[in-house]
Amino acid sequence: MSIIASIRRQIVPVHREGLPFIGIFAMVSIVLFWLWAPLGWIGTVLTIWCALFFRDPDRVTPTREGLVVAPADGRVSKIIHAVPPPELNIGERALPRVSIFMNVFNCHINRSPVTGRIEKIVYKAGAFINAELDKASENNERNSFIISAGSTRIVVVQIAGLIARRIVTFAREGASIRAGERIGMIRFGSRVDVYLPEGTRPLVAEGQTAVAGETVVADLRAGTRELTFRVG
């Protein structure tokens, strides 16, 4: 293996969504160096941070049927029962919800928690309050997915935060998707909620660090009941 190939294997790839931002940070750093070297070094550090923010590493996803993996990197901020977003029209039954908060240092690529088909994607404009607050689930800008995995449906909601100003979607309605496959990203600090079938017991705890596409959030085969939604 050549030295160049070896170096490439050690460098975490950056998603193309981040290239314009990294370029802007780099250009500003060059100007700052010209004005005053210490400012240039600050700009360089921020450029490195920007590159790390948009990193897009490969993940090794468990493949056993019934496993639900984390849709986002970050801290499991809350595990409660809550009603899914009303714009999805799936009823008013409270379901187990696992919320993962992503700070500005986490990888922000979001991934499908299960293998299945994307049944619906619904975007809703909203506010940009702190994503850690409960009311962020109701008031903030968000993008929701219903992913059908056989007779089970999983809901994933991307929620913009205090700093985040854009939700990016990679997937499309009707597409088949694998567990761990990239479905989108949120730019600069935010939260992702995953709603589990009624009766499901989450296998993570509040405060735990989750790794998108790898951390097992729940096991749908562990004595859970089938989820059915009331449409309308």
Question: What CATH number did the domain enclosing 126 receive?
Answer: 2.70.70.10
Question: In which domain, by residue range, is 80 found?
Answer: 67-219
Q: Are residues 32 and 95 in the same domain?
A: no
Q: Are residues 48 and 71 in the same domain?
A: no
**C-beta neighbour count of 129 within 10 angstroms:** 15
How many domains, the chain? 2
Closest by alpha carbon to 194, among 135, 134, 147?
Answer: 147
Task: Report if residue 226 sits inside a domain.
Answer: no
Tell me: the pLDDT tens digits for 171-201? 999 999 999 999 998 876 689 999 999 999 9
Tell me: the pLDDT tens digits for 7-37? 445 456 776 777 787 888 899 999 998 888 8
Closest by alpha carbon to 156, among 85, 87, 216?
Answer: 85
pLDDT reading at 205 higher than 80: yes
Measured between alpha carbons, how far is 221 from 64 in angstroms, rounded to an integer?
10
Q: Are residues 49 and 135 in the same domain?
A: no
Task: Report if residue 58 sits inside a domain.
Answer: no
| Sheet with 95-102: strands ordered across | 176-177, 116-124, 142-149, 152-160, 190-195, 95-102, 74-82, 209-210
Q: Which residues have a catalytic role annotated?
A: 190
Q: Are residues 75 and 182 in the same domain?
A: yes
Measured between alpha carbons, how far is 221 from 201 in angstroms, rounded to an integer?
11
Residue 74 DSSP class = E
Measured between alpha carbons, how far is 209 from 226 in angstroms, rounded to an integer?
28
Task: Report if residue 225 sits inside a domain.
Answer: no
Does 62 or 54 have the greater pLDDT score?
Answer: 62
Whether this prediction's pTM lies above 0.85 is answered by no
Task: Report if residue 224 sits inside a domain.
Answer: no
User: Quick one: pLDDT at residue 232?
Assistant: 32
What is the chain's Cα-based Rg?
19
The backbone region for 174, taken as left when phi is positive above 0, alpha when psi lies in -120 to 50, beta otherwise, is left
